[in-house]
Amino acid sequence: MIVVHHLENSRSQRVLWLLEELGLPYAVKRYERNKATMLAPPELRRVHPLGKSPVIEDDSAGSSGGALVVAETGAIVEYLVEKADGRLGMPAHRRNALHYRHFLHYAEGSLMPPLLVKLVLGRVPLLGKTAQKKIQPMIDVHLDYVEAHLTAHDWFAGDAMTAADIMMSFPLEAARSRAGLDASRPHTIAWLDRIHARPAYRAALAAGGAYAYA
């Protein structure tokens, strides 16, 4: 059984969604953020030394030493796709395969950092809001890039949804919530509406509990 250590309003919602899409059995252990700091609780360090979410335990893949522990969203996504015999994984077409690799890593490597910086600056008294205004143009470059791609493609890596779309969901949901993604980028909004309508996405919301970005 796969156990997902799931932190509220976090990247781990993508892991629940992927598991639902793949039809892999799993259980959820929920954690709440510290209301003062918004950080993960210390209990997560008992699962992985970094104390971050998402992290999964797979007792069907572990050795005699116990369950296999996998951390980092991208690594978890690749692990689960492989476990499901490649479903939602890399497309066969070379260009689509390149898009798959790119967006699988772009989500956390390029798009998420400025969104996180803006969130942190928003909690800094006085100068935080001023500094946020300097970050927004950087975010807009990314949002325009995504919009251009989705203007020409229904999905991020080919004609069907893949794990690359699942990786891209959280930063774009966060951008819609707090970083200027709105109807001025209609193809990105339409993509968000499509993923939110999927039965597996709705099932993942039911499994994970309240999620501020849906």
CA 106 vs CA 49, 102, 188, 204: distances in Å: 25, 6, 16, 23
Closest CA to 101 of 16, 167, 147, 149: 167
Q: Is residue 155 helix, strand or coil?
A: strand
DSSP-derived 3-state class of residue 126: coil
What's the chain's average pLDDT? Answer: 93
Residues 136-151, mean pLDDT to the nearest whole number: 97
Q: Which residue has the higher pLDDT, 148 or 214?
A: 148
pLDDT digit string, tens, across residues 3-18: 999 999 999 999 999 9
Q: Which residues pair with 27 in a beta bridge?
A: 3
Strands 26-31 and 2-7: parallel
- State the pLDDT at residue 75: 97
Asked whether the beta carbons of 36 and 21 are under 8 A apart, the reply is: no
Distance of CA 63 to the CA centre of its chain: 29
What's the pLDDT at 66?
75
Task: Return all residues near 161 (Cβ < 8 A) that are at least 6 apart.
Answer: 21, 88, 155, 195, 198
- How many residues does the structure list for the chain? 214
DSSP one-letter string for 48-79 = STT--S-EEEETTT--TT--EEEESHHHHHHH
Read off the pLDDT band of 64 (50, 70, 90). low
- Exposed / middle / buried, residue 33 (Cβ in 10 Å: 0-12, 13-18, 19+): middle
Higher pLDDT, 43 or 64: 43
> Which neighbouring-strand residues pair with 5?
29, 55
CB within 8 Å of 189: residues ≥ 6 apart: 176, 181, 182, 183
What are the backbone dihedrals phi and psi of residue 87, each rounded to the nearest 5 degrees, phi first? Answer: -60, 140
